[in-house]
Amino acid sequence: MQDHTPTKKDWLALAVLAVGLGLIVLDGTIVGVALPIIIEDLGMDLTDAQWVNSLYAVMLAALLLSTGSLADRWGRKRVFLLGIVIFVAGSLLAAGAGSAGALIGSRAVQAIGAALIMPSTLSTVNATFRGTYRAAAFGVWGAVISGAAALGPLAGGALTQWASWNWIFLVNLPIGVLVIIATLLVVPETRGKPGGRGVDVDGALLSAIGFGALVFAIIEGPDLGWWTPQAELHLFGWTWGTSMAVSPVPVAFLIAAIALTLFVFWERHRKRVARAALLDLSLFRLPTFSWGNVTAATVAAGEFALVFVLPLYLVNALGLDVMGAGLVFAAMAVGAFMSGAAARHVAARFGSPGTVLIGLVLELSGVLVLALVLRDNTPAWLVALPLVAYGLGLGLASAQLTGTVLRDVPVEISGQGSATQSTVRQLGSALGTAISGASLSIAMAVTVPAALDAVGVGGAMADQLADGVRQSAGTTISMLRAQGDHSDLGSATGTVVEALSHGFAQATSWSLVVAAFFLALGLLGAFRLWKATSASGAAAVRG
C-alpha cells in the first residue's frame, strides 16, 4: 500500500475526531469518583450505581455494530455529527436528573450518541490515513482512549468538589458545540462499501437482547439471587416474586445464550444470501483481528473493574473527599500520558504486539500490588504508586492495540471492523463493572460481618449495618463517619466505622483480584496476538 501524505487539514481532522472520541471515553470514567456523592444525593443503592456505569457500556455494546454499518452507509461525518448532538442532549438531561431512574435513563441517551460517535471516528481515521501515517494516527487514537479514561476520575473529582456532580455532565455542552463547528470545517466525509441489500434489523435486536440480558444477570445476581429468588423484580407493572421456582437471573443468562447464538447463525445466513449483515464473521478468520478483540475485551473488563470499585474504597473506606480520590487517580493519568507519548518509540523497538504485551504486564503487576496493599488505613500515596505502573501499561497497550487489531482489515469494511472492536471493548467495560460490583457485593457479605464480629458487634445490629453498607456501596460508612458520636451508635461509632472500613477494604481487594484475572486473560490473548503477527510477517517475507 503506497503512503498518501496527509495534509494539514487531515491532521486537524484527526485532532477534532480525537476530541470527540475523548469526550465519550472520558464520560465512561468521569462518573466513578463522583459516584459516592451521587449515591448519597439521589438515594441510590449499589445496583443503581452499577447501572449508572454499566448501562452506558451496555447500550454502546448493543448499538455499535449497527451504528458502524450505518456510518459506512450514510457517511461517517454525518453520523459523527448526529452522535455529538444526541450525546450533548443526553448530558443536559443527566445534569438535571433528580432521581436514580432519571440519571440512568439520561445515560442511555448519552450512550446512543456515543454509539454513533465511536465507530465514525476510527473508520474515518482508517480511511484517511495510509501506511506509516496510519500507524501514527492509530497511536493518537489509542493514546486518547487511555489518556481520557485515566483523566476521567481526576476531572470528576475536581468538578464535584469545586462545583457539583452535575458539572461532570454540563462540561460536555461547550466542548460538544466546539466539536460540531470544527467537524463542519475540517473533517472529510467518507463512506464504506455497501455490504449487501437491506438493513439487518433482526441482527441488531438479537445483539441488543443478548448483551443486555447478560449484563443484567451479572449486575442483578447478588440482589435477586443467582438461582433461588432473594428479592422481587418489578418490570413494566409485572412482579417476579420470591415464591417463583427460580430467580430471573438464570432465565436472563439463558436468554442471553439463546439470543447471541441466534445472532451468530443469523449473521452467517445474511452473508450467505448476499444481504447486509451487522457483523462480517469472516473478519474473525484474521488471527490478528480475533486475538486482538479477545485482548481488547478482557483488558477493558479489568480496567473498568478497577475504575468502578477503587473510588468507592478511597471515599468510603479511607475517608478521602472526591478531589482527594481524583488526585490518587491522577497517578494513573500521569502514567498513561507518559507511556502514550512514548508508545511509538517502544513499538519501533519491540513492535506493536510486543508493546501491548509489555503494557499488559505492567497493568497486571499494578493491580496485583494494589490488591495486596489495600487496607482501611493505607496511605493515599501508597495507593497511587501502583496506579502509576498501571497507567504506564494502559498507555502502552491502548496506544498500540487498536492499529494491531485492524492491520489486516480491508479499508472498505473498516466501519464494521472498528465497530466490532469498539463493541467488544464496551462489552468488556460493562462486564467489568458488573462483575466487579457483583464480586464486591459477594465479598462484603463475608468480610463486613466478620469485621463487625471482631469488635463485638453481632446479632440484628450487625446484620443491619452489613446490609446497609452493601446496599449503599459503602456510603453508609461515610455517613456514620460524618455523624461521629451523634449517630445512633453513640460512642461506639468510631469503632464500628473502623470495622466497616476494614471489611470494605478487604472486599475491594477481592474485587481487584477479579480485575487481575481479566487482565491475565488479556495478557494471554496479547501473547497469541504477538504469535499471529509474527506468523503473518514471516509469511509476507516468504511471499
Q: Using one digit for the tens of pLDDT, what is the confidence trace for 52-71?
A: 866 776 777 677 777 777 77
For residues 174 and 172, give the distance between their C-alpha atoms in angstroms, rounded to a whole number: 6
Inform me whether the pLDDT recorded for 541 exceeds 50.
no
The predicted structure's pLDDT at residue 235 = 64
Q: Give me the amino acid identity at 209.
A: I
pLDDT of residue 341: 65
Residues 247-256: b if buried by 16+ CB within 10 A, e if exposed:
bbbeebbebb
CB of 86 closer than 8 Å to CB of 118:
no
Q: What's the pLDDT score for residue 540?
A: 46
Give the confidence band of 26 by pLDDT, cuts at 50, 70, 90.
confident
389 burial (CB, 10 Å; 0-12 / 13-18 / 19+) is buried
pLDDT of 91 over the 70 cut: yes
The predicted pLDDT at position 250 comes to 93
* Cell representation of residue 184: 463542519
Q: What is the mean pLDDT of the chain?
A: 82
Check residues 541 and 152 and name the one with the higher pLDDT: 152
Q: Which amino acid is at 419?
A: A
Question: Is the C-alpha dihedral spanning 338, 344, 350, 351 positive or negative?
Answer: positive
Mean pLDDT within 255-278: 87
Which three cell numbers mark 504? Answer: 470494605
Mean pLDDT to the nearest integer, 294-298: 87
Least confident range of 45-49, 146-150, 207-211, 521-525: 146-150
Of the listed ranges 179-183, 245-249, 340-344, 511-515, the one predicted with least confidence? 340-344
CB 515 within 8 A of CB 432: yes
pLDDT tens for residues 262-272? 998 998 888 88
Strands of 292-344, DSSP E: none
Residues facing residue 240 across a β-bridge:
233
Q: What three-state secondary structure class fits 234?
A: strand
538 pLDDT above the threshold of 60 = no
Q: Which residues pair with 233 in a beta bridge?
A: 240
Closest CA to 475 of 444, 443, 454: 444
DSSP for residue 283: G
Q: What is the pTM of this model?
A: 0.75
212 within 8 A of 58, measured Cβ to Cβ? yes
Strand partners of residue 197: 275
**Structure confidence at residue 396 (pLDDT):** 83
Cα–Cα distance, 430 to 215 (Å, whole number):
7
The least confident of 168-182, 284-298, 340-354, 515-529 is 340-354
SS3 content of the chain, % helix, strand, coil (to 5): 85, 0, 15
Q: Are 138 and 125 in contact (CB under 8 A)?
A: yes
